[in-house]
Structure 1
Amino acid sequence: MRIALALTIALACAACGNDVPPEQRAEDDRMLAEQVREANDTLPPLEEVVPEPIQYADMETNDLFGLACSYAPGTSMGARVIARETDAYMKIDGEMLRFAADPGSRELPANSRSFYNGREFTLRLEVAEKEASDDSPFYEGTVWLRDRFDRVVYTGTGAVDCGA
């Protein structure tokens, strides 16, 4: 009895769909397709990232000693990025994230690179040229972190220490 009732309702609903003129059905389909396109083109909300200072324990755990450039924002001396010849690291939400160097990108001091790729983010680095009269061991540098939609989620400018 229940199966017959369900079958009757299903057939009645299917019959109602046939009452729509083909022009109206085409317009409905076009509107639905447009809504799907809009939904697919909408990016998720931008989530800014605040990198944490890389501690000595983080450096030991990830073997981050040797030739590298350390980027620290503003007047802070706590490195937020450590960039090496083949990889770079940032600490975000308590987790050390590794980025692979793009071998085709520009070479920076200490054999580091200007561009690194990660699973969730990409990292772009810039080091300003030093004047001949500048005997400071530090460079001026900028860091850009972009999400998978190529939106900047962090930028910082400050001191860069390159060496062993």
Structure 2
Amino acid sequence: MRWAVILCLGAALASCGDELTDAERAEQDRELAERVREANDQAPPLIEVVPEPLLYPDMEANDLFGLACSYAPGTSMGARVIAREADAFVKIDGDVIRFAADPGSRELPANSRSLYNGREYSLRLQIDGKRTDDTNGSAFYEGTVWLRDRWDRVIYQGAGTVSCGA
């Protein structure tokens, strides 16, 4: 659509019978370039997403077992995020999406990271509160998860229980 606007403007300029001076042509080119920049800088409407629980078949298909932190919103026990040393996983619209760990980000328990990047989204994790341990060797914390789109807008934020361990 942007190209259609540019072509229409170009056709309108070409159809003018009046000759333009170099200064006038340069000014029109500058204005046209500015309109194109504004159109390209426009972000699409914000679309919020809600991560789905990562179920056992998802975990099995993506080999999500071992040392990791699992984030579950509120009082739910269904993990929405599984974060490991090198990657993290979230399920959106039925697809399990893999994020790569940002090696320069802060290290969290179970060698997980505070920032993970994907093709369409980025994932930020924060662990708050006190640690409580269970008899199986897992540690539980309170945590927050932010999912951002490619324009760095928050499209999901959730807080809940974080379980870290093997």
Normalising to structure 1: TM-score of the pair?
0.81
Q: Deviations over 1:104-131 (max 9, x none)?
A: 2111111111111111111110111416
Equivalent residue runs for 1:99-118 within 5 Å: 99-118=99-118
2:16 aligned with 1:34 = no
Aligned equivalents of 2:121 and 2:62: distance in 1? Answer: 19
Equivalent residue runs for 1:14-163 within 5 Å: 17-22=16-21, 24-130=24-130, 137-163=139-165
Cα offset, 1:140, TM superposition: 0.3
Cα offset, 1:38, TM superposition: 1.4
Aligned equivalents of 1:98 and 1:104: distance in 2? Answer: 18
Cα offset, 1:32, TM superposition: 2.0
Normalising to structure 2: TM-score of the pair?
0.81
Letter in 2 for 1:19: D
Q: Choose 1 or 2 for highest CA Rg.
A: 1
Letter in 2 for 1:153: I
Structure 1, unpaired ranges of 5+: 1-12
Cα offset, 1:85, TM superposition: 0.9
Paired positions, count: 149
Secondary structure at the residue paired with 2:126? strand
Secondary structure at the residue paired with 1:130? strand
Q: Deviations over 1:104-162 (max 9, x none)?
A: 2111111111111111111110111416xx55642000001111111111111100011
Cα offset, 1:84, TM superposition: 0.7
Aligned equivalents of 1:120 and 1:24: distance in 2? Answer: 42
Aligned equivalents of 2:59 and 2:105: distance in 1? Answer: 25
Cα offset, 1:17, TM superposition: 3.7
Structure 2, unpaired ranges of 5+: 1-12
